[in-house]
């Protein structure tokens, strides 16, 4: 029977590389990290027999043609580990290569035989051939030292013990490892990717406002200059990002009136999501807000206050949008020839036309949206909150975000996708930097613990950065409507500390909780009318929000989201959790009442032993939110919470851990790897 010849690569592929971490969906998607991170790479690496192994992580930035390698270290049970630093924005690629360490195998066998009292004369001679190979690859001073070692090992006049000692000299192993023999190396069969973004993709506090309401006069449309005058107000609360709903011209056809009325009055401004009018579309600004130059001036002024402007990217049009007439092929028509307006039954949006992504002209439509983003990037915008991305094709987002971030790796995308879990995950996998979450509707202790365990203890931690908004212009949760000021404090503390990303829609700091009866929506919604807020009205929580943001900024443990550890609190209405920096240098504990109506007392259990303290140790905390210090003995502390102060944030003083120590090498076929700097492949 005729058969295909067996490939030489298969004959020589003796090493198994599997269980690589991090790896997302078999390498289909990139994981996410931030600039300056070190990426920890783990893998199971083994082969038949008892030969020693060596392995390396191979990596490069996608724009760098040179692959670099850093050696992996054996941990235990065939598990290997290495790290490399992500010092450039954009996409990085990485994989793993492993090879049989012939010289290391010889060293291991020589040591065992000599320790057993066996004659190793022939073994020493066998090793000279391996050493000759290394000498042939070595250069400069290294080559000279290898030749000197060879002479000692080969010296027939020397004592056998001295020749063996020369062969086992750690310096010799280090020298040979710089020039390994890798003819039969095994390369992992996937090249994996990591998207490196700004730290603001992981750690930021957002504040949302409607620029048109910033005149403080319900009879006068606000302007970009009015927003500039509000910048100190926003910055005083400690926010990093100032986010606007759409700032484009608003259509007049089927314009919505106050409280979403189907008929608008002559002075009703309409919904900013009905984008497009005679004045322009997605690359124009509403004329009552100002000009493009006014907007650019606002961007510059915000930067002077340490704020970044984020814009809403909403892929929809009013019936008056210029594209309706310029590109009718981009819209879906009904059997009567009319364009279908947007619907999410039973909700109807008569003032909005959706775009047809199944159109034969879809390629031009995709490119048009890329050009819209490029336009706003040119105006100085680097953050986009994307409205309803789950109603557009996932491949479109994968292409669009990749196109933009290749050219502008500092651009951040937030997915506003309150939708099915798998769709939310898919959008994050294909490139969205941040994602809205179900936090808005998770209120009980069991709900919060289960949901955040999923976010931080599963593969989601590799690609899904959770953004926590307690409210939005569309959502006023029942908890806030019922609970008054304490409810707003509770949700602020939770949002600001459970994740490293959080934000509020203006009015939250004023404890605005007037909702439509029986619905989680604001009464007199700002989406349909101008507002004039009393920014100093009694009962506001601006000072508390400012303190929360100051604590977050001052304490690195709160600037991560995947380091969340829930603690035992003996009250179903009290949630307790800890966050620690990777080196254990900072430990933060947060205890929050979930009851806005009365006081709560709970015993909270701390894992002192895991934190490097004896079980009955005396330990101290600084309370960061309200001030003060306390001393405790033992792992259980009683916490009293009130509606006025429903949460506490502690900085726990515990010993700093050293960096992780790897276990001793307990497999005889694996030798310690000398510390080698990363090397370009082929060097």
Of the candidates 297, 312, 293, 299, which has an alpha carbon nearest to the alpha carbon of residue 248?
A: 312
Both tokens of 218, joined, read 């319900």
Both tokens of 409, joined, read 């790796």
Q: Which of 34, 416, 509, 512 is catalytic?
A: 416
Cα(661)–Cα(367) distance, rounded to whole angstroms?
Answer: 51
Q: Is 367 a catalytic residue?
A: no
* DSSP classification of residue 25: G
Q: How far is CA 367 from CA 313, 356, 363, 422, in A?
A: 15, 14, 6, 27
The alpha carbon of 114 is separated from its chain's Cα centroid by a whole number of angstroms, namely 53
Both tokens of 75, joined, read 């941990």
Cα(23)–Cα(602) distance, rounded to whole angstroms?
Answer: 40
With beta carbons less than 8 A apart as the criterion, state whether 585 and 512 touch.
Answer: no
Beta-strand runs (E) in 172-317: 186-187, 192-197, 204-208, 241-244, 308-313
Q: Which of 51, 208, 387, 509 is catalytic?
A: 387
Q: Kindly report the number of other CB atoms within 10 A of residue 53's CB atom.
A: 24
Residue with tokens 């680097």: 382
Positive or negative CA dihedral for 400, 404, 409, 412?
negative
Helix (H, G, I), strand (E, B) or coil at 383: strand
Regarding beta strands 53-61 and 68-71, do their DSSP bridges make them parallel or antiparallel, or are they unpaired?
Answer: antiparallel
Q: Is 571 a catalytic residue?
A: no
Cα(558)–Cα(498) distance, rounded to whole angstroms?
Answer: 8
Q: How far is CA 421 from CA 190, 204, 432, 464, 472, in A?
A: 28, 24, 15, 12, 19
Burial class (CB in 10 A: 0-12, 13-18, 19+), 157: exposed
DSSP run (H or E) holding 85: strand 79-85
No. of helices (H) and no. of strands (E), the chain: 15, 29
Both tokens of 131, joined, read 């050493």
Active site members: 387, 416
């Amino acid at each position: 029977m005729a058969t295909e010849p067996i490939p030489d690569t298969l004959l020589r592929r003796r090493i198994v590389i599997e269980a690589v971490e991090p790896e997302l969906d078999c390498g289909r998607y990139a994981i996410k990290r931030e600039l300056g991170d070190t990426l920890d790479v783990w893998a199971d690496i083994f082969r038949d027999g008892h030969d020693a192994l060596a392995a390396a992580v191979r990596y490069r930035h996608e724009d760098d043609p040179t692959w670099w390698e850093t050696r992996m270290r054996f941990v235990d049970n065939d598990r290997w580990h290495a790290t490399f630093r992500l010092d450039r924005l954009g996409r990085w690629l990485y994989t793993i290569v492993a090879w049989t360490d012939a010289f290391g195998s010889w060293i291991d066998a020589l040591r065992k035989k000599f320790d057993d009292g066996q004659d190793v004369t022939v073994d020493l001679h066998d090793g000279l051939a391996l050493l000759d190979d290394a000498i042939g690859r070595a250069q400069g001073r290294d080559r000279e030292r290898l030749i000197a070692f060879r002479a000692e090992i080969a010296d027939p006049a020397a004592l056998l013990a001295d020749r063996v000692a020369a062969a086992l000299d750690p310096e010799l192993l280090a020298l040979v490892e710089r020039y390994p023999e890798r003819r039969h190396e095994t390369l992992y069969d996937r090249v994996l990717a990591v998207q490196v973004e700004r730290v603001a993709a992981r750690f930021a506090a957002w504040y949302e406002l409607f620029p048109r309401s910033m005149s403080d006069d319900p009879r006068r449309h606000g302007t970009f200059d009015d927003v500039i005058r509000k910048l100190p107000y926003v910055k005083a609360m400690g926010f990093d990002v100032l986010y606007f709903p759409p700032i484009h011209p608003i259509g007049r056809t089927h314009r919505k009136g106050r409280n979403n009325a189907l008929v608008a009055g002559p002075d009703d401004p309409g919904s900013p999501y009905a984008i497009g009018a005679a004045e322009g579309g997605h690359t124009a600004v509403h004329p009552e807000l100002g000009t493009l130059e006014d907007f650019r001036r606002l961007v510059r002024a915000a930067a002077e206050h340490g704020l970044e402007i984020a814009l809403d990217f909403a892929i929809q049009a009013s019936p008056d949008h210029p594209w309706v007439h310029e590109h009718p092929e981009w819209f879906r028509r009904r059997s009567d020839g009319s364009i279908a307006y947007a619907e999410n039954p039973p909700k109807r949006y008569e003032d909005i036309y959706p775009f047809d992504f199944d159109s034969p002209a879809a390629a031009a439509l995709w490119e048009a949206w890329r050009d819209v983003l490029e336009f706003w990037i040119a105006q100085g915008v680097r953050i986009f909150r994307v409205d309803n991305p789950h109603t557009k094709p996932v491949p479109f987002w994968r292409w669009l975000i990749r196109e933009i971030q290749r050219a502008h790796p500092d651009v951040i995308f937030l997915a506003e996708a309150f939708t099915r879990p798998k769709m939310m995950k898919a959008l994050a996998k294909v490139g969205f930097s941040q994602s809205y979450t179900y936090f808005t509707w998770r209120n009980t202790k069991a709900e919060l613990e289960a949901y955040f365990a999923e976010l931080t203890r599963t593969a989601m931690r590799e690609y899904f950065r959770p953004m926590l908004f307690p409210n939005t212009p569309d959502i006023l949760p029942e908890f806030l409507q019922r609970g008054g000021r304490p409810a707003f404090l509770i949700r602020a503390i939770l949002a600001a500390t459970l994740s490293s990303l959080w934000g509020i829609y203006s009015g939250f700091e004023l404890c605005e909780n007037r909702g439509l009866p029986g619905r989680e929506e604001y009464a007199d919604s700002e989406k349909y009318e101008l507002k004039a807020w009393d920014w100093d009205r009694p009962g506001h929580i601006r000072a508390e929000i400012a303190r929360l943001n100051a604590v977050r900024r001052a304490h690195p443990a709160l600037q991560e989201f995947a380091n969340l550890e829930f603690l035992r609190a003996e009250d179903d209405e009290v949630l307790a959790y800890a966050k620690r920096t990777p080196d254990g240098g900072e430990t933060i504990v947060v205890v929050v009442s979930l009851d806005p109506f009365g006081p709560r007392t709970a015993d909270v259990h701390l894992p002192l032993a895991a934190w490097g303290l004896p079980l009955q140790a005396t330990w101290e905390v600084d309370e960061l939110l309200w001030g003060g210090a306390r001393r405790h003995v033992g792992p259980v502390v009683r916490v009293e919470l009130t509606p006025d102060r429903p949460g506490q944030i502690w900085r726990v003083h515990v010993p700093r851990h050293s960096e992780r120590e790897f276990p001793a090498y307990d497999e005889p076929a694996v030798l310690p790897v000398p510390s080698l700097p990363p090397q370009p492949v082929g060097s």
